[in-house]
Chains A and B, each alone.
Chain A
Amino acid sequence: MDRPNPFVALLASYCPSPENEAAYDESIEVASGRAGVASLQLEHPMWARLVELLKCGEPPSIVLTGTAGDGKTHLCRRLFAESKGREWGKPIARARLPSGKTLVVVKDFTELGERDKANIVGRLAASAYGSGGSEVFLVAANEGILTRRTDWHGFDEDYRALVEAEAKKQWVRELHERLKDSLQGAGRESGRDHLRVFDLSRIPAVDNLDRVLKAILEHEGWHGCADCPGTHSDSPRRCPIYENRVRMRQPLVQGRLRALVELAEYNGDHLTMRHLLMLVANAIVGHRDVKGAVKAITRCDQMYDLADCSQVNGAYFQNLFGGNLPRALKVNPFALMSGFGVGNETNNRLDRLLIYGDLDPTLSESHTRLMASDTYYGETPAFLAARESYREDPVGRGQDGFLDHLVAQRRRLYFEMPVDDTGESGHEDLLVFKSAPEYRDEILAVVRKGLRVSEKHLNALVIGLNRVFVGALLSVTDKVLLATSGTTSQSRRSDLLIHPLSHNPIERVGVSVQTDNLEGTNGIPWLIVRHHGGELARMRLTVSRYEFLTRVADGVLPGSFSMELYEDMLAFKAQLIRGFFHETGPAELHNLPIRVVQLKEDGNAEFETVEVWGDSVHG
């Protein structure tokens, strides 16, 4: 390596550090300038649409909302530059649009003082609903804040006066309604005429991931590595950065990463553009053993200091889960990624392969293909030494180092294990969400087409719910049992029956899974329980809840998988009970006897009425 590739410094600036926590976009701009490299050519999915709107003859005012990191500031800056604006940085900036109107850019509504907020709200409302004006607004705000500050009822006197100086009350109210629509799930673009609202958090993260991967992995900055000996696969000083890049360009690896991001969506966890940039950049240049606050290689020659360290400490498959980061920086997206359990989940076959693959003749073919052939990140000298140490003394000191290697190898296999090698050890076994493929293909896909989920899966959900609701190993599929302990609905064992709800998809009672407004919810379906009277309650069927219920249906104890999900289910039970009382007439409710749920050997439930004097049954 003759001289360091400045592109590496640019990538490092995208990695998590104490500095870029707060103002990501700004600090990246600065770093890019310093590095002397073109910044990432990443076109935001909404870019083209926004340019189209602002360049037309009658441009609308635009509000950008979304979570921090979805690209609001970035878009404002680029649209400002596109409109030949000068001196970016002011809270309220002006530029000129082709139509002749003035573009007023507020890059962060939240950072304005109260007076400015009121003033902008007024002028924004006027630009959208007033008659003709020369101002067009581009306002970026976090979800909810702008909605609150346009709520006429919530205005104090001073604020109201300032707003009224610019706009009529009905304009502001109209603006408020449109913002509320967006908040309640109108989709990524809503509004019409002179006001458009964009909710950037509604763009599926997988779409953004593809753009980010392309922008980073195919950047022209990689040309800077052309003459470096580190890029040769037989070089003693092979470069981990380059190696990471090579591997991450594989469609197989990208597909596996995409599956993880998708899984996050199925849980209602939104990975923002910032998260994805951080994730991929850190994957490439992250390294655990770099000294300093930023655990990433910023200059290629740092590699010499790292030469003696274990190679996997800079591997992309470790970095993607924040393996290189200190605890304090292990926030999202890394906390989220860690939640998938990749590295810790496994099965016997896989572990046998990892620990004894070289010794077991039945595994030798897999072993050669998956382990021995990869001398850089697979069977490295460090790995071999640790494995030897472990085999000699599994319980003693040999354990620690090797167990870490096992985690790393499982992660590598998750990304790199080819599809036709599934057999018994599919890569999906390496995820904590073992039901993810089923969820994706047989629940989500089905429901999004407007079709019914199969009876087999619904039954599993019913069994799971019943086991949690009653606290016994029931196998009841034709009823949903609402039960309490007599004193509370929230206890682990609830054997006093309130009511057995019928579950019969044909009659449209019991449990069903469906989705409503696709765009608004990022597509996560609802699990709904209906009774003859109507809908009792509903809850979001995220992939983690699906996993929980199917595991419980399989025989796992509820508390052992996740206490939080277990409590979710109990809370849902309380909602169902409340819904049941609401839907049922008083006469029927007053005659409910005390009934005990008895578990029979075959898993069925029997209801025994407890004899009580004065019940209508017993006179």
Chain B
Amino acid sequence: MAKDWRELRDTFPEHRYPMLDFWLDEAIWGHRLYDQSSRDVVLLEMLNVVDFILRSKRTEPFSAGRSQEDAALLTTSFRRSLVLRTILFNNSTLEAPLTAQWDNAKAWKHQLAALYEAFPEDGRKAHGLSGPEGFHYLQERFSSYGAYVGLVRILRQGAVEYESNKRWTSKFLFPYGPDALFEDLNDRTLSPDRRFFGRSGEIAYLMLARSSRARDVWEGLRPVLFEASPHTQRWHRALKSLQPERSNEPSEDGQSGQPIGYLPYETHLTFDIFGEDFCQLLRAGLPEYDAIPHLGTTTTFHLMHYLLVVAAEGLGSTPLPGSKSPVSYILEARGDRPDTVRRAARYSYQVNNELPRRRLKLALDKVREVPDVTVALHAGDLGTLKQAVSTTA
């Protein structure tokens, strides 16, 4: 049975968001869609959720989280892959031995020491690292230092925003497969951080899981990334090269994690369209990883579409003739002169851009009509105001 936010307002979500003063945006749209994430990172976050569910072996991906009850119990913990990330992203002196033309022994000595230095202090014990020799396996595996550098270079080539000046714990690998996925971390505390993984990926995951095409989504996505296909195997071997035999990462067991973001609807028109589009891309027969950027683009589009459609529905907008959606986008293929199409496109943008704000205003207007609110406002009575907002919005 589909539940909407009005029936749920007395249940768990608020309690999972204790830091909030007012349960307003969240009541309407769920966890706030993060403004800054790039499309690659949103997709990465979603893939991390899928990976976690696979590892936890509880249910099938895009099946877990379908109902509100299930989502309430869903906590996720992603891989940390500290060793891999240190080698790839916290290793500024990697090339130095080659430039200086040192022999292998000297080069390795330098690198192993550098890796140990760079490795987060707090993590060393947990990873069983007592000194540079903890990385000695690398020297054993590669026939030369140059060969090792060659592999690292290739992996960096595909990294997401490698050139940026982001902290090293917020640099990500291309999603070659499950072992290329890991989460955003704070570089001082090494705890999961929400600077780049803002839970939009989690919302996207829930949208797909709750769409009418959930099963097809998984069937289509699995061979691209989550099965032992030729391309994933190739990169899996590459990543395995750089990691120690035993993995000491606590999060691998799939225990204690963070609760997944809140999505108010169990079904929604926009979820189904999103599922359709996602499946279409997977069915296009693109080779290897070609579909990935497009999956990212369509995900971010549909997050935005969800935002606007929910706003429009709340404002009472009806679907446009011939369509099921109350939101439309007029796009202009850039001409060199302003004409009717450009004016219409500008207007369309303005209308859409204002939808969320207008929806919130409507909600606040309704709140103001609640009897005790005016008094509470004057008195600064936060408790009553909170109550009024969350029961009315």
Contacts and interface: CB of A to CB of B under 8 A. Distances in A.
A479 to B, nearest CB: 19
Interface centre among A589, A594, A596 (most CB of B within 10 A): A594
Contacts of B371: none
Nearest to A608: B150
Interface in A247-300: none
Contacts of B148: 611
Interface centre among A577, A610, A613 (most CB of B within 10 A): A613
A612 B241 contact: yes
B286 A612 contact: no
A485 B157 contact: yes
A589 B288 CA distance: 12
Interface stretch (A39-47, A105-113, A397-405, A486-494): A486-494
A574 B293 CA distance: 15
Nearest to B150: A610
Contacts of B289: 487-488
B154 A592 contact: no
A578 B289 CA distance: 11
A487 B237 contact: no
A593 interface: yes
A490 B174 contact: no
A611 B157 contact: no
B72 interface: no
B230 A589 contact: yes
Contacts of A615: 237
B103 interface: no
B241 A613 contact: yes
Interface in B112-136: none
B292 interface: yes
B157 A574 contact: no
A313 interface: no
Contacts of B286: 574, 578
Given A488-B290, A488-B293, A489-B287, A613 B154 contact: no
Interface string A462-505: 00000000000000000000001111111000001000000000
Given A487-B174, A581-B230, A594-B154, A613 B290 contact: no
Interface string B280-300: 000001111110110000000
Interface string B219-251: 000000000001001110110110000000000
Nearest to B137: A613
B323 interface: no
Interface in A345-385: none
Given A485-B158, A486-B157, A613 B237 contact: yes
Given A486-B154, A614-B240, A594 B285 contact: no
Given A611-B150, A615-B237, A488 B157 contact: no
B292 A488 contact: yes
A577 B289 CA distance: 12
Interface centre among A496, A592, A596, A611 (most CB of B within 10 A): A611
Interface string B337-360: 000000000000000000000000
B366 interface: no
B142 interface: yes
Interface centre among A593, A612, A615 (most CB of B within 10 A): A612
Contacts, number: 72
A251 B117 CA distance: 83
Interface in A98-139: none
B237 A486 contact: no
Nearest to A587: B230
Nearest to B147: A611
Nearest to B146: A611
B151 A610 contact: yes
A615 B235 CA distance: 11
B292 A610 contact: no
B137 to A, nearest CB: 9
Contacts of B285: 578
Contacts of A590: 230, 233
A487 B154 contact: no
Interface residues of A: mostly helix, strand, loop or mixed? Answer: loop
Given A581-B230, A610-B150, A610-B151, A484 B288 contact: yes
Contacts of B292: 487-488
Contact of B151 (A485, A577, A612): A612
Interface centre among A486, A496, A593, A618 (most CB of B within 10 A): A486
Contacts of A610: 147, 150-151, 154, 238
A18 interface: no
A154 interface: no
Contacts of A614: 237, 240-241
B286 to A, nearest CB: 6
B241 A577 contact: no
A550 B240 CA distance: 43
A614 B286 CA distance: 28
B141 interface: yes
Interface string B151-162: 100100110000
A586 interface: yes
A470 to B, nearest CB: 14
Interface in A572-592: 574, 577-578, 581, 586, 589-590, 592
A489 B288 contact: yes
A618 B151 CA distance: 14
A611 to B, nearest CB: 4
B295 to A, nearest CB: 12
A496 B155 CA distance: 11
A489 B233 contact: no
Contacts of B164: none
B189 interface: no
Contacts of A490: 290
A16 B143 CA distance: 73
A556 B233 CA distance: 37
A229 B387 CA distance: 96
B238 A489 contact: no
Contact of A592 (B150, B158, B230, B287): B230
Contacts of A578: 285-287
B231 to A, nearest CB: 9
Given A485-B157, A488-B293, A577 B287 contact: yes
A582 to B, nearest CB: 9
Contact of A612 (B157, B174, B237): B237
Contacts of B142: 611, 613
A532 to B, nearest CB: 18
Contacts of A608: 150
Given A496-B154, A577-B288, 8 more contacts: A486-B174, A488-B289, A488-B292, A578-B287, A610-B147, A610-B151, A614-B237, A615-B237
| A-B CB proximity, top 6 nearest | A613-B241, A611-B147, A589-B230, A577-B287, A613-B141, A487-B158
28 contacts: A486-B154, A486-B174, A486-B235, A487-B158, A487-B174, A487-B176, A487-B289, A488-B292, A489-B287, A489-B288, A496-B154, A574-B286, A578-B286, A578-B287, A586-B230, A592-B230, A593-B234, A594-B154, A594-B238, A608-B150, A610-B154, A611-B143, A611-B150, A612-B151, A612-B241, A613-B142, A614-B240, A614-B241
Interface of A: 484-490, 496, 574, 577-578, 581, 586, 589-590, 592-594, 596, 608, 610-615, 618
Interface of B: 141-143, 147-148, 150-151, 154, 157-158, 174, 176, 230, 233-235, 237-238, 240-241, 285-290, 292-293
